[in-house]
Amino acid sequence: MIVGIPKEIKNNENRVAITPAGVEALKTAGHEVYIETNAGIGSGFTDADYKQAGAIMLDSAADVWAKAEMIMKVKEPIASEYGYFRQGLVLFTYLHLAPEPELTKALVDNGVVAIAYETIQLPDRSLPLLTPMSEVAGRMAVQIGAQFLEKPWGGKGILLGGVPGVLPGKVVIIGGGVVGTNAAKVALGMGADVTIVDLSEARLRQLDDIFGGRVKTLMSNSYNIEQAVKTADLLVGAVLIPGARAPKLVKEYMVEQMSPGSVIVDVAIDQGGSVETIDRITTHSEPTYVKHGVVHYAVANMPGAVARTSTLALTNATLNYALQLANKGWKQACQDNAALAKGINVVGGNVTFEAVATALGYEFTAVEKVLA
């Protein structure tokens, strides 16, 4: 198979979908790899590194998209890339379609086989291609939140860990999955007072065990969220219902009760965001805006800022699946691997992921039907 890797063009997206080690693995399995010039620069991989591993470098993105049978990316394509879509092209990348009606329409109209990293799901319900970036974003959420709590960055002037004689800052994390757990690790490491809110009693018990009682756990309901949010210095949005639009759990009236200079980092923004006052996606260039006196951060590609770490972590997880797709073709690979089949969101003009179909008003086609 011919595999193409274009350079990422989203704002400050420095990750790349393959490393030289990945190129070597695909070449060894008998595939051709075309990579756009300078695609790896933001992650510290040069064109020479890729050539040495056996890739062919191409100067234009258009050539990479045109020659490839499967495109591997990191972020969901942006509008200027929709023109490259064509019938039968396999697109393997993060897609987050539920809040993206235009991208979904372009994939449907052009008959692309769109396989989303974030909905590939193992029998234990874990999301192996989302997990590494959720680990990164969860850890970053507190690091970034701590910075924006500083006065010069618009915050209230709180040091999360406090100092002897002064209470620590309060971090409230809504969603105790991978992002939430990693955010809690960093917040505890800084000495903050940490509360995690989740809907699952079993998960809250696990978190209580994992952290040896050092985090406070709270059942998710509107009353508890209001009580927790109004006293938070840093609020981290970390909920997920796989493939679906994030539920807006933090209402505007709750944000209005937060004290001025508090900070919200809504990591769940890639699925539409979990905070009502987040009405736009922000970028690494302009990461925040202030509403009701509260600093809002809603960057949908947080790991792009720590690209070297993120590219290595992401490709550790994606390569094995990319090899299956390239070795067997998408249909056979998905017939053989039920976890991979859960990644198929759009194929042959059909929406095959139910939460996406529901969010965007498409008829749902069961994936088993397209794999038959």
Ligand X SMILES: NC(=O)C1=CN([C@@H]2O[C@H](COP(=O)(O)OP(=O)(O)OC[C@H]3O[C@@H](n4cnc5c(N)ncnc54)[C@H](O)[C@@H]3O)[C@@H](O)[C@H]2O)C=CC1
DSSP for 276-337? TT--S-B-SSS-EEEETTEEEE-BTTGGGGGHHHHHHHHHHHHHHHHHHHHHH-HHHHHHH-
Q: Of the candidates 115, 116, 240, 250, which one interacts with ligand X according to CB under 6 A?
A: 240
Q: Enter the tokens of residue 21.
A: 């080690």
Question: Is 86 part of any known ligand binding site?
Answer: no
Q: Active site includes 270?
A: yes
For 206, the 3-state DSSP assignment is helix
**Which is nearest to 146 in space by CA: 164, 163, 166, 161?**
161
Q: What Å distances lie between residue 153 and 57, 130, 146, 230, 289, CA to CA? A: 41, 30, 10, 21, 11
By a kind-dependent CB cut-off of 5 to 8 A, residue 241 interacts, out of ligand CC(=O)C(=O)O, ligand X, none, with ligand X
Q: Spot the catalytic one: 31, 96, 266, 296.
A: 96
If the CB atoms of residues 288 and 301 are measured against ligand CC(=O)C(=O)O, the closer one turns out to be 301
Apex 125 CA angle, 121 and 126, nearest 5: 70
Q: Is 233 annotated as a binding residue?
A: no
Q: Which of 134, 142, 91 is nearest to 115 (CA)?
A: 91
Binding residue per annotation — 269?
A: yes
Largest CA distance in the chain: 66
| Residue of the chain from 94, 321, 330, 362 that contacts ligand CC(=O)C(=O)O (CB under 6 A) | 94
The reply on whether position 14 binds ligand CC(=O)C(=O)O by CB under 6 A is no
Q: Is 59 annotated as a binding residue?
A: no
Nearer of residues 313 and 333 to ligand X, judged by Cβ = 313
The minimum distance between CB 195 and ligand X, in angstroms, equals: 12
Is 284 assigned a catalytic role?
A: no
Total number of residues binding ligand CC(=O)C(=O)O (CB under 6 A)? 9
Say whether 357 counts as a known binding-site residue: no
Q: Which of residues 114-173 bind ligand CC(=O)C(=O)O (CB under 6 A)?
A: 118, 130, 133
Pinpoint the alpha helices (H) of the chain: 20-28, 47-53, 61-67, 101-109, 131-148, 178-190, 201-210, 222-230, 252-256, 307-328, 330-336, 338-341, 354-360, 367-371
Return d(Cα 61, Cα 39) in angstroms, integer. Answer: 10
Q: Which residues contact 363 (CB under 8 A, 6 or more apart)?
A: 350, 351, 357
Check residue 305 for interaction with ligand X (CB under 6 A): no
301 labelled ligand-binding? yes
Task: Please give the DSSP secondary-structure letter assigned to residue 265.
Answer: E
Question: Distance between CA atoms of 211 and 218, rounded to whole angstroms?
Answer: 14
Catalytic entry in 31, 193, 270, 296: 270
Query: Is 203 among the annotated ligand-binding positions?
Result: yes
Residue 219: helix, strand or coil by DSSP? strand
The structure tokens listed for 95 are 């897609």
Mapped onto helix, strand or coil, the DSSP state of residue 90 is strand
The site partner of 340 among ligand CC(=O)C(=O)O, ligand X, none (C-beta below 5 to 8 Å per kind) is none
Q: Interface with ligand X includes 264 (CB under 6 A)?
A: no
Interaction partner, residue 175 (ligand X, ligand CC(=O)C(=O)O, none; CB < 5-8 Å by kind): ligand X
Binding mask 54-93 toward ligand CC(=O)C(=O)O (x if CB under 6 A, else -) reads ---------------------x------------------
Does residue 303 belong to the site contacting ligand CC(=O)C(=O)O (CB under 6 A)? yes
Count each helix (H run) and each strand (E run) in the chain, helices first: 14, 15
Q: Which residues are catalytic?
A: 96, 270
Chain residues binding ligand X by CB under 6 A are 118, 130, 133-134, 137, 174-180, 197-200, 203, 220, 238-241, 246-247, 249, 267-271, 300-303
Annotated binding site for NAD(+): 134, 198, 203, 220, 239-240, 267-270, 280, 299-302
Annotated binding site for substrate: 15, 75
Chain residues binding ligand CC(=O)C(=O)O by CB under 6 A are 75, 94, 96, 118, 130, 133, 270, 301, 303
Annotated binding site: 15, 75, 134, 198, 203, 220, 239-240, 267-270, 280, 299-302
